[in-house]
Amino acid sequence: MENIFPPPIKALPEADIPIDGITSYLSQAADHQLLFMQFEKDADLPEHSHAAQVGFVLSGVIELTIDGVKKQFRKGDIYSIPAGVLHSGKIYEGYSDITFFAEAGRYKAKR
């Protein structure tokens, strides 16, 4: 699968996310993170919660269950997960997005 992100994004540090088949670039700020993610394989996300998250879907499909409500998001969609709300999901091969996390320490850069 071809990397869809342009050189300025690929110049960012890669995020250390324990999901097989993900390429993710991390833009770090003092109080939040912005991730540019692309998936080469399907991935299941077990139920969890954290600070607020907002995703901007660039391609493919993600199926999220947010606070018990299941919904699919596709290219051009925006999803929002409030802080502390339980959610789970299925990410399908070919999915990519830009995701905002309202916390600075959600992920670390790969070493």
CATH number at 45 reads 2.60.120.10
Supply the pTM of this predicted model.
0.94
Q: Is the pLDDT of residue 1 over 90?
A: no
Nearest to 24 by CA among 87, 88, 108: 108
Structure tokens at 21: 């088949």
List, for residues 55-70, the tens digit of each pLDDT value. Answer: 999 999 999 999 999 9
Q: Is residue 89 part of a domain?
A: yes
Q: pLDDT per residue over 71-80, tens digit each? A: 999 999 999 9
Q: Which domain holds residue 93?
A: 7-101
Q: Could you tell me if residue 16 is inside a domain?
A: yes
Residue 106 lies in a domain: no
In this structure, is residue 20 part of a structural domain? yes
SS3 92: coil
Q: What is the average pLDDT score of the chain?
A: 97
Is the pLDDT assigned to residue 111 strictly greater than 90? no
Q: Kindly state whether residue 111 falls inside one of the protein's structural domains.
A: no
Q: Are 106 and 54 in contact (CB under 8 A)?
A: no
In a domain, 38, yes or no: yes
> In this model, does residue 97 exceed pLDDT 90?
yes
Q: How many domains does the chain have?
A: 1
